Amino acid sequence: MNKLLIRSLTEQSPVEIIYMADPDKTTKRKVIIKKVNVDSVTAYCFLRKQLRTFRIDCILAAYPLMKHNDRFFSSKRG
């Protein structure tokens, strides 16, 4: 997962993360990583339309996204 976050940083490519905001609440966010620290990342969040900080240990999953017709879609097809 760290490689994907770093790739988002270097390529400025969007990723979708599943984030545990509270012990009983998870959220799905589309983000572009702007800075990687030891225990957190700063990313532009498309949901909140602002920079947000996410703890790395609370990111449960991360998936690459690709841009298509000004909308973001997961690269996994289901």
Question: Going from the N-terminus, what domains does the chain have, and what CATH number goes with each?
Answer: 2-74 (2.30.30.100)
Residue-wise pLDDT tens digits, 8-24: 999 999 999 999 988 89
Residue-wise pLDDT tens digits, 23-44: 899 999 999 999 999 999 999 9
Neighbours of 72 (CB within 10 A): 14
C-beta separation of 46 from 34 below 8 A? no
DSSP 25-63: EEEEEEEEEEEE-SSEEEEEETTTTEEEEEEGGGEEEEE
- Tell me the average pLDDT of the chain: 87
